[in-house]
Structure 1
Amino acid sequence: MKKNLVIVESPSKAITIEKYLGKDYKVVSSKGHICDLATSGKGGLGIDIENDFKPTYRVSKEKKDVVKELKSLAAKSDKVILASDPDREGEAIAWHLARELGLSTEDNNRVTFHEITKPVVLEAIQDPHKIDMDLVKSQETRRMLDRIIGFKLSKLLQNKIQSKSAGRVQSVALRLIVEREEEIRKFKSEEYWTIGAEVKKGNSTFHAELTKVDGKKPKLANKEQAEEILAKVQDQPFVVSSITNRKKSKAPKLPFTTSTLQQESSTKLGYGARKTMSIAQKLYEGVDLGGTTTGLITYMRTDSTRLSDLFVQETENYIESEYGSDYKGQAHKKNSENAQDAHEAIRPTSINYTPETVRPYLTNEQFRLYSMIYARTLASLMADAKFNVTSVKFLDNGCEFSASGQVLIFDGYSRVYSKYEKQTDTLLPVLKEGEQMNRVEIKGDQHFTEPPARYTEAKLIKELEEKSIGRPSTYASIIDTLQKRGYVTLDKVSETSKTKYFQPTDQGELTNQKLQEFFKKIINVEYTAEMEKDLDNIADGDEDYIQFLKTFYADFEPLVEKAYQDMPKKELERVGRTCPDCGGELVYRNGRFGKFISCINYPTCKYTENADDSLNELEKEEKICPECGNRMTIKKGRFGPFWACTGYPECKHIEPLKAKAKPEPTGEKCPECGHDLVRRVSRYGKSFVGCSNYPKCRYIQKAPKAKKEEEASETSTPTEQTTQES
């Protein structure tokens, strides 16, 4: 008996959805994109620019078996339903699947799931629609832009200055980081002073700050000016001149978008953007809740703060039942100008899935992220927090001092969100107008203006979103790319600091300098933001994508030609030795995994060696490959140096540089499955305690508080993003 075939992106999602749909459906995964632009044709672009930018697609090498299996299943099925993710990338995947499987784009064979729950999946499967070709054109245009800019600029920079790559959004993000560093270098610190009073009444002590002198805001640039004011107020009456009482409300924050989730996860949980999206993906695709698999959050790639009417009603009833009618607020929606609003905000699929009820089924990282998403969504529909605020002014010989205090009188949304917001009451004693304060200590404090802070990951993401650069779904891969290319580092500025900041490397600054010198018209914030609007217009069917590409290319290609002509080539740094194979000079080059030494006559001579002297000493051991007998050499890879056979690619034998340490038993048992706990070393050299039953049990023992976040980050394994910039 034939079945209906449903194709989704993720294998874990396929398992969950097949359980919902029952025996008449078979659900399989495409494992993300199956096609990409070919690397053939003029310039290896896979785009026929002279023929209206006609793209050529090829099934990815690693996906050929997947596509073969999908074709076989499709031929045996009554109907094929394309259920890739509900965004532009997902729409493009559905279109590529339709092309490869011989499906018509005029048929209603496309469904989207905004959350992986049984009612939503069953409802969606009954309402299929056509593939949205406007969304496909928008994604295709973005991909071609990234290919043209990425390939052409990368090839140029590799040839001229040995930089590894450039990209439409990547290079603008690099520009922001470099410009901030330049601001810091140019900044000149200036001295200024403030004058404050410590006032005591009874057992209460509070602070008042000098705000006016003879009715004007004071400007105290040095110690002499501060001492002049202090001389006026010392031993003078400190009198209460006015007291103002008012009520203040504080509204809850809006539900999470992709960007705000990444920012808050970074600052509150210590998770990077890629790690956050990896955890969120698992929560979206489905978690086994004791025999029933269900998605716990809605789709996590969204720029909308909208919540569905059904969810709002369900949550309002929950708030009234759990906290009382006084705690009911209202749904707020404030999307950015550039928001697509294709999906809801990131929210729990049901308000009844409280963090406490699902905790037994989640890893620690999943629980922490889900708890924050749940609390943020619930709080967004609760009433404002209310405060009594008191402002007091004091006069002392023509000098006005101000103090303020506030008291929480109704907790409102903070009842559930106080864990993620710092809120403390500032109390003032009971005061009366005309009252003279006798116990007052007044002093001046010296300060110096500080330069703007470097970007943290959260601040950079916020800046990219506010300036409409790229899409939030791509921020994680952009940040990763900048670090992998060696353009920036993300480090703590001191041993005592817990926060990591971006700093450009010398190569990053050189790359930005050359891009700004020759491509300032293209690689800038305004142009990139305007391009996002054009892509949105294409998605809405309001702009012709071929004409858009023609206009872009007419601006871009002359800049490339001029750069090839005028950009000077960076001289390779000489090592001071000759190549043992051909006698040419040895030079330093930058490779995918860092600096290395090679022959200046490359590619005619392919001799290489490590730039690290300690590795060269180790290589003198003349290690022999146990499989083919060839000499082994030390290569650098993604996770550091390793031994590799020189007979590659015929022999692919490799060995770790050092023997992998065996897990060391701790004598304790895993609280989740009962197996032994062992001490391991992560691929980054960090020590941690985990379950010996890994990967079936992924329990990791909490580190001491000071190291907790760092080690949690080091032991995660993020999944690959489906959207990457060239």
Structure 2
Amino acid sequence: MADKVVIVESKAKARTISRYLGKGYDVRACRGHVRDLPEDEFGVDVEQGFVPTYQTMPGSRRVVGQLRKAAAKADEVYLAPDPDREGEAIAWHLQHVLELPEEEARRVTFNEITRSAVREAFQNPRGIDLNLVNAQQARRILDRIVGYELSPLISRKVVRGLSAGRVQSVALRLIVERERERDAFQSEEYWEIRAVLSRAGEKDTFEAELKRLDGEDVEIRDEKRAGELVEALRDEAYRVAGVQERTSHSKAAPPFITSTMQQAANSRLRFTAAQTMRLAQQLYEGVDIGAETVGLITYMRTDSPRVARQAQEACRRLVEQECGADYVPKKPNVFRSPKGAQAAHEAIRPSDPFRRPDDVKRYLSERQFKLYDLIWRRFVASQMAPARYHVTDVTVQAGPAEFRARGRRMLFDGHTRVMGGGDETKDQQLPALTEGDELELHELVPSQHFTQPPPRYTEATLVRELEKQGIGRPSTYAPTIQTLLRRNYVRRVRRAFQPTDLGIVVTELLVEHFPREMDVSFTSRMEGELDEIEEGKRDWRATLAVFYDQFSADLAEAREKMEAVSGTEPGEPVECEQCGRPMVVKFSRGGDKFLGCSGFPECTYTKSLPKPGADEAVETEHKCDKCGAPMLRRVGRRGREYLACSAFPGCRNIMGLDREGNPVKLEPRRNTGFGCPRCGGRMHVAQDGAAEELTCARCRNRLPMLTVQEALERTEMPQDGSLGACEKCGGQMTLKRSRKGLFLGCSSYPDCKNTASLPKDALPDPQPTREKCEKCGRPLVVRWGQYGRFLACSGFPGCRNVWRLSGRPKACPRDGCTGKLIKKVGEDGVAYKGCTRYPECDYTEPVKAKSKKGQ
């Protein structure tokens, strides 16, 4: 039995650390928090000074029992959760449930899971930092007060199952207010005029934009004025009035912190905040890279861009080795931490910069590699010299008009050599010009533009705004966004957040009755007070008392004055067209407001409500081709016009509109259960199955459907060692089969008999084929299952049709064909064997009928 017990959060982290510590250490996982406030009651005694009542979580009781037994037999117990408030609170709760005296609770922290960092941490254990614990307790109790008191109130007044939160509701307010700005925005027309010029007698041209007229800034509001200026300036003489040359520098961005990593992963890789954090957790906790398991990046929940001196020096050596001495700045680049940042933390960086992305690519999944590559490049670039550019500004005079042109030429690529962003193709290259040069006009190009409303928040811009306003912490951004989506307060439209009717109504109620709690600056101040508690400058109970006094008064008033929204009649009474009862306001599962009959469930009549500011449906001269009723012109969620039958809901026929405004029959489509690899949305296929690609209903991504042979080739299990290394002997793990299915086994068998279960993320992604399901007509996909690959309907779980792919299919007998014969089903439902290279090879043969027993 080991005489030292180490407790961490996850099994992956435990497995990595155990290999560093060796014998004598028993490393166990507590699986996150083991104690929390009770789920079915408030759990905070306000009268006695906000004393929390903690209970062992139901899912952790078995783990806690095992940890108690191990700790009772051990000489020393080390608590090694993550190095932040949550990790410190987990360690404190573990101390209590294991009944460890304070002097025996050894707390160890490390910013990276490497052999040297872990061993150094265990040589310098400390006690539990109660300031960190109190900051976490204060945050948890604040969230319990707001959530436990506000959520039931909102659920009663709007619709059941809603929630409100201290950070969540303020983030929702930002999204709603941005949508109101967009609705109130009045677009204005403006025009620009660009001159295409060259030096007299030369062919190389450049562009200059009209900026001033008669010494004043020019504003062109309509096409008529633009045309007048073009005609007036066409015959003017063009000459260079001034040339200014300078050198500009582009400094490297700091290494990632949590928020900037989420922003970059969303904009560059299209990862959601939750996906980014999940992948970063995997890279931090440890990955098998051949002969060892190592954490590839430092701790991923941080708001400080600080970098340890050893890491800086290693990165500078790498830059000099890979790029040359010119790319290494004279002094290491140092970046200032934002106000309130936890300076003890480091930026997110590779634990070893010499571990290049390509070196570990074969050990990582595709998404893990993309994120590690992004983190590695950002960190290495942060310690490189600035990029330098030669910038030329040219003023061109044409009578009373003044045109300006700018050219930029790279002198030294600096950090852009690693991080990118130095693409010269986007910069205009100007010819050598001097003041007084005569220029030849080739063309005057007027262009029409319209001012644009402020864009909706994407995940990247919302995280940036939350960070800028000081709302929430790095660890809260991803769960906050997930909650807003799960509660149907917002929806994603082209990767941006649009508030639903439900989200708008909830925000309006909370802002009206809880103006202080919904104020952005107040929420930011509360985050600052929590930071002061962590630093030991503020008492956490006094902070809670000040907050609760005002909140309880607002809550009592809201319970009396807040009016119900759902189930009430609209401003103007509307009668049900089927039974005559009054219609009432309701909310759909997707968060949209509509009118429903008050006689539900006896009467199920519903009626949609027009969006505020949306164009009213306009009756057209076109008739419905199904019932003959007039068609109405409407605008969809994504701003596209379409025709809908005025007899809705009796007739649900809709038609599209071409560019001339003529009705066109919409291509019928069938949704599949196949997820878009870009955004995760559902993909659909044409109803008749004629299309050769799947289309995402959310982001419009198109995915070609393959022949079965191509799909089999793309779903081959990799043989390059990406399945990991054997934890016993260091050999490569390979795919093996047994009667119970697939598993991983050591390639050194029989010398090493180590085995492991096959992780799902190691399996290749499913691939759609051109073969159609004989039950529902949707395309079949090649998937991996417990016993290998098989063909399955893309309509799963609605359609569960599957076809086995034989382990050794017969080769196609046609000369020159490399395909295999597999079982297929024709349109008449008859089974046959066809070539996997169809339609390139159309060879078929009948399936032999199985003889019955005894015949």
TM-score range, shorter chain: 0.7 to 0.9
Q: Secondary structure at the match of 2:536?
A: coil
| Gap change, CA 1:81 and 1:596, over 3 Å in 2 | farther
- Summarize the Cα distance change of 1:695–1:600 in structure 2 as closer, same or farther, 3 Å threshold: farther
How far apart are the structure 2 equivalents of 1:335 and 1:569?
A: 46
Matched-pair contact (CA < 8 Å) for 1:338–1:468 = no
The match for 1:618 is none
Q: Percent identity?
A: 42
* 2:440 counterpart residue number: 438
Instruction: Name the residue aligned to 2:143.
Output: 146
| Cα pair distance change 1:17/1:391, threshold 3 Å | same
Q: How does 1:8-47 map to 2 (within 5 A)?
A: 8-39=8-39, 44-47=41-44
User: What is the aligned counterpart of 1:178 among 176, 179, 190?
Assistant: 176
Aligned residues of 2:502 and 2:592 also touching (Cα < 8 A): no
**1:420–1:670 Cα change, 3 Å:** farther
Q: Is contact 1:587-1:600 (8 Å) kept?
A: no
SS of the equivalent of 1:692 reads strand
Are 1:528 and 2:523 an aligned pair? yes
Q: Which has the higher contact order (CA 8 A, sep 6+)?
A: 1
CA deviation profile, 1:589-641 (whole Å, cap 9, x unmatched): 77799999999999xxx99x999xxxxxxxxxxxxxxxxxxxxxxxxxxx99x
Residue 134 to residue 366, structure 1, CA distance change in 2 (3 Å): same
How far residue 473 of structure 1 moved from its aligned partner, in angstroms, is: 1.4
Q: Which structure features the higher share of helix residues?
A: 1
Q: 2:263 aligns to what?
A: 263
Partner amino acid, structure 2, of 1:82? L
How many Å separate the matches in 2 of 1:55 and 1:567? 30
Deviation of the 1:561 alpha carbon: 0.6
**Counterpart of 1:334 in structure 2: which amino acid?**
R
Whether 2:362 is the aligned partner of 1:365: answer no
Gaps (5+ residues) in structure 2?
570-574, 578-582, 607-679, 682-707, 720-733, 736-762, 769-776, 790-855
Aligned twin of 1:429 = 431
Alignment partner of 1:374 is 2:376: yes
Listed one character per residue, the Cα deviations across residues 464-492 of structure 1 (whole Å, up to 9, x for unaligned) are 11111101211111001001101100122
Task: Tell me, yes or no, if the aligned pair for 2:287 and 2:293 is still in contact at 8 Å.
Answer: yes
Q: Does the 8 A contact of 1:285 with 1:295 survive in 2?
A: yes
2:576–2:597 contact (8 Å) kept in structure 1 = no
Structure 1 counterpart SS, 2:388:
strand
1:340 is aligned with what amino acid?
Q
Are residues 1:133 and 2:130 paired? yes
Give the CA deviation at 1:216: 2.0
Contact 2:717 2:764 in 1 (8 A): no
SS in 1 for 2:406: strand
**Does the aligned pair in 2 maintain the 1:92–1:136 contact within 8 Å?**
yes
Runs (5+) with no aligned partner, structure 1: 493-499, 578-584, 612-638, 641-663, 698-726
What residue in structure 2 maps to residue 166 of structure 1? 164
Structure 2 counterpart SS, 1:443: strand
Residue 496 of structure 1 corresponds to which residue in structure 2?
none
CA distance in 1, matches of 2:467, 2:404: 37
Shift of the alpha carbon at 1:106? 4.3
Contact 2:250 2:387 in 1 (8 A): yes
Counterpart in the other structure of 2:549 = 554
Give 1:670's aligned residue: 716
1:519 aligns to 2:514 (yes or no): yes
CA positional deviation for 1:532: 0.2
- Give the letter aligned to residue 87 of structure 1: D
**Of the two, which has the highest radius of gyration?**
2
Distance of aligned partners of 1:586 and 1:449 in 2 relative to their CA distance in 1, 3 Å threshold: closer
* Structure 2 contact 258–302 (Cα < 8 Å) conserved: yes
Please tell me the residue identity of whatever aligns with 2:530.
L
Q: Does the alignment pair 1:217 with 2:217?
A: yes
Show CA shifts across 1:436-481 (max 9, x none): 1123322332222111111111111111111111012111110010
Q: How many angstroms apart in 1 are the aligned matches of 2:281 and 2:144?
A: 27
Matched, 1:104 2:101: yes
Instruction: Give the structure 1 partner of residue 481 of structure 2.
Output: 479
The 3 A distance-change label for structure 1 pair 513 and 130 is same
Taking the aligned partners of 1:245 and 1:480, their CA distance within structure 2 comes to: 50
Partner secondary structure for residue 402 of structure 2:
strand
Aligned-partner SS, 1:249: strand
Q: Does 1:505 align with 2:503?
A: no
- How far apart are residue 425 of structure 1 and its match? 3.8
**Aligned equivalents of 2:342 and 2:265: distance in 1?**
23
How many angstroms does 1:200 deviate by?
Answer: 3.2
Worse-matched range after superposition: 556-565 or 103-112: 103-112
- Residue of structure 2 equivalent to 1:118: 115
1:156–1:421 Cα change, 3 Å: farther
Tell me the number of residue pairs that the alignment of Structure 1 and Structure 2 aligns: 627
Q: Which residue of 2 aligns with 1:336?
A: 338
**Contact kept? 1:304, 1:345, Cα under 8 Å:** yes
Q: Deviations over 1:503-540 (max 9, x none)?
A: 01111100000001101111121000000000000000
Distance 1:398 1:534 in 2: 59
Question: Which stretch of structure 1 is more off in the superposition, 444-453 or 105-114?
Answer: 105-114
Question: What is the CA–CA distance in structure 2 between the aligned matches of 1:9 and 1:222, rounded to whole Å?
Answer: 64
Contact 2:198 2:206 in 1 (8 A): yes
Deviations 1:127-185 (A, max 9, x none): 00010000000000000000100111101001111160110000001000000110011
Tell me the CA shift for residue 48 of structure 1. 0.3
Q: What root-mean-square deviation, in Å, do the aligned CA atoms of Structure 1 and Structure 2 show?
A: 3.4
Structure 2 counterpart SS, 1:50: coil
1-side partners of 2:440 and 2:370: how far apart?
50
Question: In the alignment, is the contact (CA less than 8 A) between 2:107 and 2:125 conserved in 1?
Answer: yes
Residues 416-436 of structure 1, C-alpha deviations (whole Å, 9 max, x = no match): 111797874421112222111
Partners in 2 of 1:355 and 1:149 — Cα distance?
Answer: 44
CA contact (8 A) 1:392 1:402 kept: yes
